[in-house]
Amino acid sequence: MNGRFTRAVVALTAIGALAATGACGVESDDGDGGGAGKAKGLKVGWSTIYLTPSWMQQTQKMLQADIAKLKSEGAVASYQTFNANGDTSQQIAQIRAMIQQKYDVILVDAGSSTALNPALEQAVNAGIAVANFDSLVTSDKVVRVGTDQKEWGRMTAQWLADKLGGKGDIIAFNGPAGVATSEDRWKGAEEALKKYPGIKVVANLHSEYNLAPAAQAFASAYSAHPDIDGVFSQGGALSAAALQTIVKQNKKLVPITGENYNGFLKMWQANKAKGFSSLSTAQPNYLGVIALRAAVAKAGGKTVPNQITVPLPKITDDNLAEYAKADQPDDSYPITDLPQAEIDKLIGQ
């Protein structure tokens, strides 16, 4: 999942954040509104900076499915989603509301790596199990579940270098300048590429992780460098834009690294027989499920690691068919579920 944003609004009070559910994007899976005392299980809340992106919606569905399993086992009594609608101050208010309402578990996909730290540490001090996933805070007091973004860049750039035999001209297609995820992926890629003096980066692009602006950015660079040998791309919409441009111009297909963005996966599949190849990876939606399971275990008195690094999936020519979904929208992010045994291993159970 890529990109975080904030917008300035007046911060709500903690109680107001919970009470005014319509204004604050509180969604309950419980007919009784998640009141305490209804069952012996845990009271769980998920605070997300936003829900609009398809990645977030898929994550929500995965969480809801796992919550249903935990409810059937009696481990969870109630669950609510708190959507901050892109505003970090509102997310902080919602977290503090959950503290006052005595939630047992708080899950967080953060809108800021630092601004949420005091509220989350307050929750930990109140005895709440806090697990942060995907977009991570810097506090080491909470359980953090994520992937290695530098390894993302290293792994895919190494594949590209191997594919090119260590030489050739490439376009580097990165996310927005200054965004931590983009910067980390490019640092990893640079580490891999510096071993190959025969590989020349002829253009280093930055774009939003959306197809339309990415297509415009790539088309401009490609017109200046039509004879490139490959593309290092660190986002699925970016990869889709690059491949779309090359296919539309009926030019030579070159290897392009990517992500599990369904539009790109479907184009890859359609052009595979023509010689197109990629190595793609993913920020898997099951990070949320791993965070949930870790927090539930911790709330139950078990010891779990505070830093959980989840291995990056690898999508290759050989397993592409397992990921590309013809019946799903282009802007979806298909991912196979992680077996419970693997989740238990990651959380130390």
The pLDDT, as a whole number, for residue 15 is: 36
The pLDDT, as a whole number, for residue 29 is: 66
Both 214 and 241 in one domain: the answer is: yes
Both 36 and 105 in one domain: the answer is: yes
| pLDDT confidence band for 24 (50 / 70 / 90) | low
Query: Does pLDDT of 20 surpass 60?
Result: no
Beta-carbon contacts of 27 under 8 Å, excluding residues fewer than 6 positions away, are 80, 81, 83
Indicate the pTM of the whole model: 0.84
Q: Is residue 343 part of a domain?
A: no
Q: Is residue 331 part of a domain?
A: no
Q: Is residue 84 part of a domain?
A: yes
Q: Is residue 297 part of a domain?
A: yes
Q: Do 247 and 269 meet the contact criterion of CB atoms below 8 Å apart?
A: no
The pLDDT, as a whole number, for residue 53 is: 84
The pLDDT, as a whole number, for residue 94 is: 97
Both 143 and 18 in one domain: the answer is: yes
Model confidence pLDDT, tens digit, residues 88-131? 999 999 999 999 999 999 999 999 989 999 999 999 999 999 99
Model confidence pLDDT, tens digit, residues 275-304? 999 999 999 999 999 999 999 999 999 999
The pLDDT, as a whole number, for residue 19 is: 39
Both 307 and 274 in one domain: the answer is: no
Query: Does pLDDT of 255 surpass 70?
Result: yes
Both 20 and 108 in one domain: the answer is: yes
pLDDT, greater one: 165 or 210: 165
Number of domains in the chain: 2
Both 75 and 90 in one domain: the answer is: yes
The pLDDT, as a whole number, for residue 178 is: 80
pLDDT, greater one: 336 or 8: 336
Q: Do 21 and 295 meet the contact criterion of CB atoms below 8 Å apart?
A: no
Query: Does pLDDT of 34 surpass 80?
Result: no
SS3 307: strand
CA distance 298 to 307: 13
Q: Is residue 329 part of a domain?
A: no
Q: Where in the sequence is the domain holding 108, given as residue range(s)?
A: 14-147+284-311
Q: Is residue 203 part of a domain?
A: yes
Cα Rg for the chain, rounded, in angstroms?
21
Give Cα separations from 60 to 5, 13, 258, 290, 331 (angstroms): 19, 25, 24, 13, 16
Both 292 and 264 in one domain: the answer is: no
Both 88 and 19 in one domain: the answer is: yes
Q: Is residue 125 part of a domain?
A: yes
The pLDDT, as a whole number, for residue 71 is: 97
Both 97 and 160 in one domain: the answer is: no
Instruction: Quote the tokens at residue 224.
Output: 């200046």
What sign has the CA pseudo-torsion 137, 141, 146, 149? positive
Both 253 and 177 in one domain: the answer is: yes
Q: Which of 261, 281, 301 is the last residue of a domain?
A: 281
SS3 338: coil
Q: Which of 265, 281, 297 is the last residue of a domain?
A: 281
Q: Which of 281, 297, 326 is the last residue of a domain?
A: 281
Both 141 and 158 in one domain: the answer is: no
CA distance 214 to 206: 8
Both 271 and 178 in one domain: the answer is: yes
CATH number assigned to the domain comprising residue 172: 3.40.50.2300
DSSP 19: H
Instruction: Quote the tokens at residue 81.
Output: 């989603």
Q: Is residue 161 part of a domain?
A: yes
CA distance 148 to 307: 11
Model confidence pLDDT, tens digit, residues 256-271? 999 999 999 999 999 9
pLDDT average, residue stretch 151-165: 98
